[in-house]
Structure 1
């Protein structure tokens, strides 16, 4: 018997995995079928593993856009994106009745038009319930959420886009912040959310122009380096050859080695990898044959580590993880040498910080820049990165000088669009007359960034300054206005202008000092959420974890996409084509 359909909205919980597991458990009648679409499957795959799904009596997971075998004796759970293609496929299932019934869960709110399409169907009796979960995002990491919408960069900055038109820089940023505040207020009212017994969170809404250095610079922490040089798929899939076969490995928090090493500098990564492996060998000597000398004595190099791993057949899973990261670290260092990144990164850091490694002011970067631009062994992408950094650091370059540099580098005309389109992010391309003015932020950077541990990692992402200044109550209302005046008085009650905070720029990097209890020790202050429109970098992701650990705060980053330098330059090229 057909009944009137009612939409329900489920409160968002911090435990994202719990929401999806609850969805699977909501249908308790024996074995079930899980139906997804190409977008929603990414959402659920990022939060739960296949064994989590099968544990909830899911006998098969299928794609709604493809042909499927009917299972008329089993209930189906539909986890779908609220888009026309998925709804149309759902209507076809309703008509064909290929399952005993459908329990429908949408990742976000259905439009009124799509809901009406379902509710007025003559086959609506097939549907047992419709629930909107508001989980249309990817839980990329424990502190990172992404919408995986790389196209948003184009919509936000391109003058040809009909999405934001001329809404760029501060105007678009302010409108975006207002929109987010309005949606949060509406959702809170709709879900009847009760105030939490804790200080309110604060969300900063910034865009990619907030820090253009970060997506261009070479970053030498393990995760960032692997994504830049090895080009991982979706930031977490590593492919390797095993004879004639290709093996794909997922890098996530189930891999303790990856989770422990991803934010360490590559030099520390290799050292920690060897130390962890030798510790493992030492703790398992009883299980290792004494005749295997290398296994019994540990390893001093990655090559010795490989030999030892091959002598430990009884530890297959751990052997595979150590072998994987040994191979990835070796590949990263091989690419570092092949691409001449020691020379390139040194100049990059000079231009980004305005200081040389010994603390002297950079006066004539062209002398070091020109030979690399003329070097045929330096890739076009790396040359573009150098030119972008040079232009930003000099606050524009004379048009003739810029053309000469492009000619020296032999940058193809189409690729040069990545440089020309910097103007769409508010970057000055042409040098204006007069002496260069040093901003307050640059002065602060020069004063505080002279004690970093690695010469090729001197640049500090701007979000670190933002977080520190917020906690120290040093942000100016004109730069970071509240979207509601009432929030200013209530926000962050522990702030004090005279409050002393821990420096995040100590000589020894904070990720080397591990406090066993740090994960459980966070302050009772409100959460800090950074929303970055236009994409966030792996350096910024690392910075969030570093700040959360050092400052004992709950800090999260939400972004439209996670960027690599290659992806960022490709997006810059597409903003506007110069014929």
Structure 2
């Protein structure tokens, strides 16, 4: 986009709040400034005119951004020309508005880029529309659902157009009535893709690979998983400490507060984010001690050597030393904070009950018998915060398929939670959770999907007697992991996951014969390209989309399956959730 506008000449970039988020998800501001860009400015703010420079407008196709673009050229133009790039398709109404105004003669380029999504990680995308959850599951907002379904479908088109994918679309439909939110989004997406095919004959681009499958699910497929305490590093940090936008950590040090970004550019975070906290604490400490012993700057400072050669070596090593020392300090701090919270808040006892509930078995493989007796002391304990009590109560209700009203009343009395907090439990009924029953049933946690491959694995384990080792407090496996694994093995239950169109009725992908002349839209994004060629030779790509929020356990499952099967899997959602934001 930036390189295509007046190459080798100075220009500036104008963004709105949403497009800036998209830019920040894939690059740094200094990356943009390196491309002969003098400034990156917000269209929402009053700006100084630069009539000698052309402007690149990277903006959302909204009425607000269009009005501000028009205002920039209404009387005295702010810039020499406007090169306009929209994050998604522009509606006919807004396009006509641009044509009717004076701004049209100042627009040198106008393109729709289909990039209306954010790259959260190398295998994770995100639309950052958490408000959609309330629209989809709030009975007072049923009139807004159609608009939200269209909005989500259009954003999915952006993703697929950027990836150059025209996938087989499957959707979660356990009752076979096409009434799930997943079904509505899937069929709207099929319509949007059909419109794109008609509008752009080059879509989908030619490919050598087998056709991708996109599986659309909604949060009702697993209502209990996001409530469970996770003890892998990334999930635990986001649950117990909290990171702004899932990546920004405010560290309190001797010199005051410091903002630290935890992402895939951080080697330690990238290496350990999906590792159990017990291992992370040990490995980070071990690696830090090894770094101190091997680093010239550290050893010179420690030994106090002042020879000229040693001093020169020390000076050369100092920048790397300080950078790595700071990184280690962040992760040591995070591990200590997580371990302290774990110890002080009875998380071990809470998590043991959670695992017994959601798996339906104890760590010894027996049916739990004393859940209530173990729960009540925790509900009575003032040191256990109310959110943890609510998580435990909600999980108990879900896994028992509802509880008698009198039993629930007694449990609530023990928990000492407020009426407004009880609404959290009550509102789970809008996700299809049965809250009440005439009598307490046997513990029978039901999944939104029963995995065929998991049943086969259990048989093999029973035959070979080779149970996999797992941490006692980390036995639960997310439902979505089972869905993805069945799809990889081509045994996904197509009654529960029907296709919007049977695969045989789709046009087969053509073989790619010429790689030249790729459009801006179809250029492969770097965040989804890592090792993709190698992985896609092993089988078709799988894309999972969750309407209603994606948790960190589900995110981790994608990386685990990619590593285990050497297959290309991408997951995304309307937004990223933590247990607290979910509740």
| TM-score > 0.5 by shorter chain | yes
Q: Could you tell me which residue of structure 1 aligns to residue 98 of structure 2?
A: 118
Q: Give the conservation status (yes or no) of the 8 Å contact 2:558–2:570.
A: yes
Mapping 1:196-275, distance limit 5 Å: 196-243=207-254, 245-275=256-286
CA gap of 1:88–1:477, structure 2 versus 1, over 3 A, is same
For 1:522 and 1:176, how far apart are their aligned partners in 2?
28
CA gap of 1:419–1:294, structure 2 versus 1, over 3 A, is farther
**Any stretches of 5+ residues in structure 2 without a counterpart?**
150-171, 306-316, 462-466, 510-529
CA gap of 1:24–1:383, structure 2 versus 1, over 3 A, is farther
Q: Could you tell me which residue of structure 1 aligns to residue 107 of structure 2?
A: 127
Q: Could you tell me which residue of structure 1 aligns to residue 368 of structure 2?
A: 362
SS at match of 2:246: coil
Structure 1 residue 395 corresponds to structure 2 residue 405:
no
SS at match of 1:239: strand
Query: How many pairs are equivalent?
Result: 508
For 1:443 and 1:105, how far apart are their aligned partners in 2?
44
For 1:383 and 1:541, how far apart are their aligned partners in 2?
25
For 1:73 and 1:259, how far apart are their aligned partners in 2?
44
SS at match of 1:39: helix
Deviations 1:300-331 (A, max 9, x none): xxxxxxxxxxx978611111111111111111
Q: Could you tell me which residue of structure 2 aligns to residue 83 of structure 1?
A: 62
Q: Give the conservation status (yes or no) of the 8 Å contact 1:71–1:99.
A: yes
Structure 1 residue 530 corresponds to structure 2 residue 544:
yes
For 1:382 and 1:246, how far apart are their aligned partners in 2?
28
Aligned residue among 299, 313, 323 for 1:289 = 299
Q: Could you tell me which residue of structure 1 aligns to residue 21 of structure 2?
A: 42
CA gap of 1:523–1:197, structure 2 versus 1, over 3 A, is closer
Mapping 1:458-497, distance limit 5 Å: 458-487=475-504
SS at match of 2:402: coil
Q: Could you tell me which residue of structure 2 aligns to residue 184 of structure 1?
A: 193
SS at match of 2:140: coil
SS at match of 2:192: helix
Deviations 1:388-446 (A, max 9, x none): 11011111111111122112111111111111111111111112569657768679879
Q: Quote the RMSD (CA, aligned, Å).
A: 2.9
Structure 1 residue 556 corresponds to structure 2 residue 579:
no
Structure number with higher relative contact order (C-alpha < 8 Å, ≥ 6 residues apart)? 2
For 1:530 and 1:48, how far apart are their aligned partners in 2?
24
Q: Could you tell me which residue of structure 1 aligns to residue 321 of structure 2?
A: 315
Aligned residue among 144, 150, 159 for 1:163 = 144
Q: Give the conservation status (yes or no) of the 8 Å contact 1:202–1:491.
A: no
**Any stretches of 5+ residues in structure 1 without a counterpart?**
1-21, 296-310, 493-516, 570-579
Q: Give the conservation status (yes or no) of the 8 Å contact 2:70–2:102.
A: no
SS at match of 2:338: helix
Deviates more, 1:311-320 or 1:341-350: 311-320
For 1:366 and 1:422, how far apart are their aligned partners in 2?
21
For 2:369 and 2:435, how far apart are their aligned partners in 1?
19
TM-score by length of 2: 0.81
Q: Could you tell me which residue of structure 2 aligns to residue 27 of structure 1?
A: 6
Aligned residue among 402, 413, 416 for 1:407 = 413
CA gap of 1:216–1:403, structure 2 versus 1, over 3 A, is same
CA gap of 1:428–1:76, structure 2 versus 1, over 3 A, is same
CA gap of 1:294–1:477, structure 2 versus 1, over 3 A, is farther
Q: Give the conservation status (yes or no) of the 8 Å contact 2:399–2:446.
A: no
CA gap of 1:294–1:469, structure 2 versus 1, over 3 A, is farther
Shift of 1:86: 1.0
Q: Could you tell me which residue of structure 1 aligns to residue 73 of structure 2?
A: 94
Structure 1 residue 56 corresponds to structure 2 residue 21:
no
Q: Could you tell me which residue of structure 2 aligns to residue 456 of structure 1?
A: 473
For 1:443 and 1:197, how far apart are their aligned partners in 2?
30
TM-score by length of 1: 0.82
SS at match of 2:109: strand
For 1:204 and 1:419, how far apart are their aligned partners in 2?
29
CA gap of 1:69–1:245, structure 2 versus 1, over 3 A, is farther
CA gap of 1:488–1:216, structure 2 versus 1, over 3 A, is farther
CA gap of 1:489–1:239, structure 2 versus 1, over 3 A, is same
SS at match of 1:316: helix
